[in-house]
Amino acid sequence: MASLKSIKKRIVSVKNTRQITKAMKMVSAAKLRRAQENVVAARPYAKKLGEVLQSLSANIEGDLHPLLEKRDAKKLLLIVITSDRGLCGGFNTNLCKAADRYIKENASTYEQISVMTVGRKGYEFLKSRYTVYKNFANVLAKPNYQTAAMLAQEVIDGFVAEEYDKVELLYNSFRTVMTQDITFEQMLPVAPEAAVASDETPVEFIYEPSVSELLAEILPKNIEVQIFKAMLETVAGEHGARMTAMDSASKNANEMIGKLTLQYNRARQAAITTELMEIISGSESIKG
């Protein structure tokens, strides 16, 4: 049986850990509210921009912009967005495993698969398995649109230069505090969803300036918005996952403290009983 001193030391250690996990949960809960508000605010804009792009594409014949060019997809760029910090359960691990699985399943489909990571955890997981094309760390602490625009320009320049023929985006989409969905999105070439069949007579628009000039503005903007939205979703998901993980860790610490306290009391009782037996035995031997 462990000594009283070692058990007491473990109890103190677990209590200190519990204090840290509780503090981390409170910090994540405070940051989650702001991150969730940002996600909710960004989603309608991204949706409406997609609808505008869909409306434009319905009247397009041929490739009026390089980002619409459909090639024989031989070179793929996979962008993986994870967090920079851990202690958030399986938030990063599940996403990285999904990326690993996707690359292995499509290894025979493409001649070349390049990986771009946003976030330190994704880079650390994938760098030992694949060649990471580029890595952008420490950009999610305070996600901003300028960073998303910079990343989008990197992707657009590579696609136009034919360094890759297709671009896929992989990230955790925020649903609830306890749930994040692993999401794949095709970024390039831009492929707007087909319009839903309707009995209504389609409305004809007169575009000013021309459709090609509108596409030159909207298509790059759409890539920027997609990346920015994915960054915001990742940040909100990270805080939600960390809050849940730290809450679970605090509960486990409480259970461990209870078990250790019981063990400590039993060991202390056994020590007292042993001491009493020794006193009684000594007293009896003196009388004898």
| DSSP characters over 65-92 | SGGG------EEEEEEE--S---STTHH
Q: How many CB atoms lie within 10 A of CB 150?
A: 14
Q: Any idea how long the chain is?
A: 288
178: helix, strand or coil: coil
User: Where do the H-state alpha helices sit in 111-194?
Assistant: 120-126, 145-160
Indicate the residue type of 187: M
Check 42, 88, 170, 232 and give the catalytic one.
Answer: 88
Catalytic site includes residue 96: no
Which residues, including other chains, have CB under 8 Å from residue 11's CB and lie 6 or more apart?
Answer: 257, 260, 261, 264
Under 8 Å between Cβ of 101 and 107: no
Active site residues per annotation: 88
